[in-house]
Structure 1
């Protein structure tokens, strides 16, 4: 390790910044957030300084810095991009025994300014020791995406109980176990879901009863989590967190392998997938299994493709959980219509084509196609049909028989948002034959309406290097 990582307390202390550049503005901004008394030196400050100049702890000197200005400071930043000014700052800092950092001038730096993930009071600093700052910035972006902002608020919340816990639980090891159980357990879950009252009640009850120092929880819980249409990047922060908290996961066939890999490694995995006319487990059995596992003290992750409450039968499952007094959390996911249409370059609404959008499933309780054709055939709307691949011929005939123009644009998105995504565009009249020729197997979603014609302008493509989808401004032909 080439540098000592530390966090300085600069509240109320003098800090100087020389320069009016963007880098100088970022240095001033961070220092003000940390409570420093900041002095910035430059005759021409950039636009980024406009909101900072109103801060009561900032003093602006409309001139370059001098050696005398550095006296009494704890830190001196150089960001003027002027060699002579950088040399002056460094010389003055050495004479005053002040820590100095001059942007992009390694020999003038006593310390490295890291990339920062700010979830105050939780702060993560990342540094490559000055050798590869880009790597540090990339890692910061990845951590930003994995760490919900609520973790900072949770740290502040739990800090209020620190003295009480220290007085009640003797021994550093026992206190550590208690905090681990609270943060990575029901108290933390309640806080992150927005229920501060339950979080505080659980923490105080655990403290009063002497539990929470390593004893397993007697009451289990169910996490009903929407996994989205397939691309792991579409998972929510909360979904990822609960996927790492579970003891056992019940997952269906719509959950992509890449998403399943993000589940806690040592969690038991139970496949409960259903295909048309082939059920590994019936819905009633799945719900009963969740109750049984939760009653045995397990934290059960029910991982569903798309969104649990949009044709995901999540409502049926939580009904049974409620009947048995099983605590549960529900995490919404990006539903297939939204995710797949976006990755296909087909907006669901558009001022010139559709002022409304309707979601419908072609699969009923008993597998019978029973649709409200009066609603589906209205003009100026988009119809998104879930689970309609096996009923496509009936659907096409139904639209035509109820007065819809056979040339109405339509599309099928197969394995949407995944690297093997395929798209067919056509019309109500020819879509069934095109799907048959393409041998689509699903999961698929059908989009019907004028918005399908926009695909040629707003098509997406899979990058050859990593399989991710990015916007293409070049029209792409359909299959």
Structure 2
């Protein structure tokens, strides 16, 4: 079998991350917008294309959920613009963010729109793409590890497992007004799958629990709340669906958080790997 050489044209051996310098990454052209997922939090979970974009962009427009440790990887001279949106706090308007992306691209900038998790998983990436298409701005989508999968993994919860569930539902726990989404068919969702993963659901969790129980979900179904997923300060709390209101009355939950409903909670006792010294590494 032929051995593949890991060397430059002049014969100098490459090792580690230096080998990436010779890879044919896509060119980040001026006037383009890249919508990039930075992952669920830990810098080590960002993709190679995310790293490449950080090294190639002229301006980074980033969200509130982007770990500051990831922004350390931008090249010197790159502009940083905060465009965070957090529930209940002063936030940039979505339309203003989209307009700003267009303005920067039309000025010939290489614009990196950096989002926590994945741009298309409750990240409003689709809305921003609509504006870019209308303005005839070329763009690229770089997916990221979403908290609803990566965060579960760091909590020792497999999103699917043949012994517990062959399906999973992902949904958001609030609408544009911050209230429980009225356009979710909670009765249908309640019994559609053993596992439901909810983003941004802590604020309305008691109301959501009532709706799911009314739809036929068992009161003793396990609820797992993962705060600051994949970060050293990650915290995991447990309760039951029928006890959510009482639980919330005496428990202060840090956000952002992912809420997981269903029997995969039982796997945590077996798969809880993110402990001790592993938590001390800020890269993940």
The TM-score normalised by the length of structure 1 is 0.54
Q: Give me the whole-angstrom Cα distance separating, in 2, the residues matched to 1:123 and 1:323.
A: 48
Residue-by-residue CA offset, 1:283-328 (whole Å, 9 max, x unaligned): 0000000001111111111100010011111011011111111111
What is the correspondence of 1:139-288 to structure 2 with a 5 Å cutoff?
A: 140-143=15-18, 147=20, 151-152=22-23, 154=24, 188-189=26-27, 220-288=31-99
- Does 2:239 correspond to 1:426? yes
- Does 2:97 correspond to 1:295? no
1:373 aligned partner:
186
> Once the 2 structures are TM-superposed, how far is the Cα of residue 401 of structure 1 from its aligned partner?
1.9
Structure 1 window deviating more from structure 2 (392-401 vs 223-232): it is: 392-401
Q: Give me the whole-angstrom Cα distance separating, in 2, the residues matched to 1:224 and 1:122.
A: 36
SS at match of 2:203: helix
> Once the 2 structures are TM-superposed, how far is the Cα of residue 121 of structure 1 from its aligned partner?
6.3
Structure 1 window deviating more from structure 2 (262-271 vs 415-424): it is: 262-271
2:199 aligned partner:
386
1:400 aligned partner:
213
Residue-by-residue CA offset, 1:3-43 (whole Å, 9 max, x unaligned): xxxxxxxxxxxxxxxxxxxxxxxxxx7xx547xxxxxxxxx
2:149 aligned partner:
338
Q: Give me the whole-angstrom Cα distance separating, in 2, the residues matched to 1:286 and 1:412.
A: 30
Residue-by-residue CA offset, 1:82-120 (whole Å, 9 max, x unaligned): xxxxxxxxxxxxxxxxxxxxxxxxxxxxxxxxxx7x277
SS at match of 2:75: coil
**Aligned equivalent of 1:323, options 134, 137, 153:** 134
Q: Give me the whole-angstrom Cα distance separating, in 1, the residues matched to 2:10 and 2:161.
A: 42
Q: Give me the whole-angstrom Cα distance separating, in 1, the residues matched to 2:269 and 2:281.
A: 19
Q: Give me the whole-angstrom Cα distance separating, in 1, the residues matched to 2:162 and 2:233.
A: 31
> Once the 2 structures are TM-superposed, how far is the Cα of residue 430 of structure 1 from its aligned partner?
2.6
What is the correspondence of 1:116-135 to structure 2 with a 5 Å cutoff?
A: 118=6, 125=13
Q: Give me the whole-angstrom Cα distance separating, in 2, the residues matched to 1:189 and 1:364.
A: 37
> Once the 2 structures are TM-superposed, how far is the Cα of residue 122 of structure 1 from its aligned partner?
9.1
Q: Give me the whole-angstrom Cα distance separating, in 1, the residues matched to 2:247 and 2:226.
A: 12
The TM-score normalised by the length of structure 2 is 0.89
Q: Give me the whole-angstrom Cα distance separating, in 1, the residues matched to 2:215 and 2:9.
A: 61
> Once the 2 structures are TM-superposed, how far is the Cα of residue 399 of structure 1 from its aligned partner?
1.6
- Does 2:161 correspond to 1:350? yes
Q: Give me the whole-angstrom Cα distance separating, in 2, the residues matched to 1:405 and 1:332.
A: 35
Q: Give me the whole-angstrom Cα distance separating, in 1, the residues matched to 2:188 and 2:146.
A: 21
> Once the 2 structures are TM-superposed, how far is the Cα of residue 433 of structure 1 from its aligned partner?
3.9
> Once the 2 structures are TM-superposed, how far is the Cα of residue 454 of structure 1 from its aligned partner?
1.1
1:311 aligned partner:
122
Q: Give me the whole-angstrom Cα distance separating, in 1, the residues matched to 2:36 and 2:178.
A: 25
Residue-by-residue CA offset, 1:367-391 (whole Å, 9 max, x unaligned): 3322211332125521000010111
Q: 1:222 to 1:357 in 2, by over 3 A?
A: same
Q: 1:189 to 1:381 in 2, by over 3 A?
A: farther
Task: Check whether the contact 1:230–1:417 (CA below 8 A) recurs between aligned residues.
Answer: yes
Please, which runs of 5 or more residues in structure 2 have no aligned partner?
A: none
SS at match of 2:76: coil
Q: Give me the whole-angstrom Cα distance separating, in 2, the residues matched to 1:452 and 1:120.
A: 49
User: Which structure would you say has the larger RCO, counting Cα contacts within 8 Å and 6 or more residues apart?
Assistant: 2
> Once the 2 structures are TM-superposed, how far is the Cα of residue 270 of structure 1 from its aligned partner?
1.1
Query: How many aligned positions are there?
Result: 280
Structure 1 window deviating more from structure 2 (365-374 vs 403-412): it is: 365-374
Could you say which structure has the larger radius of gyration?
Answer: 1
Q: Give me the whole-angstrom Cα distance separating, in 1, the residues matched to 2:51 and 2:246.
A: 40
1:361 aligned partner:
172
Task: Check whether the contact 1:396–1:428 (CA below 8 A) recurs between aligned residues.
Answer: yes
1:193 aligned partner:
none
- Does 2:265 correspond to 1:452? yes
Q: Give me the whole-angstrom Cα distance separating, in 2, the residues matched to 1:353 and 1:432.
A: 26
User: Whose helix proportion is higher, 1 or 2?
Assistant: 1
Task: Check whether the contact 1:249–1:268 (CA below 8 A) recurs between aligned residues.
Answer: yes
Task: Check whether the contact 2:37–2:143 (CA below 8 A) recurs between aligned residues.
Answer: yes
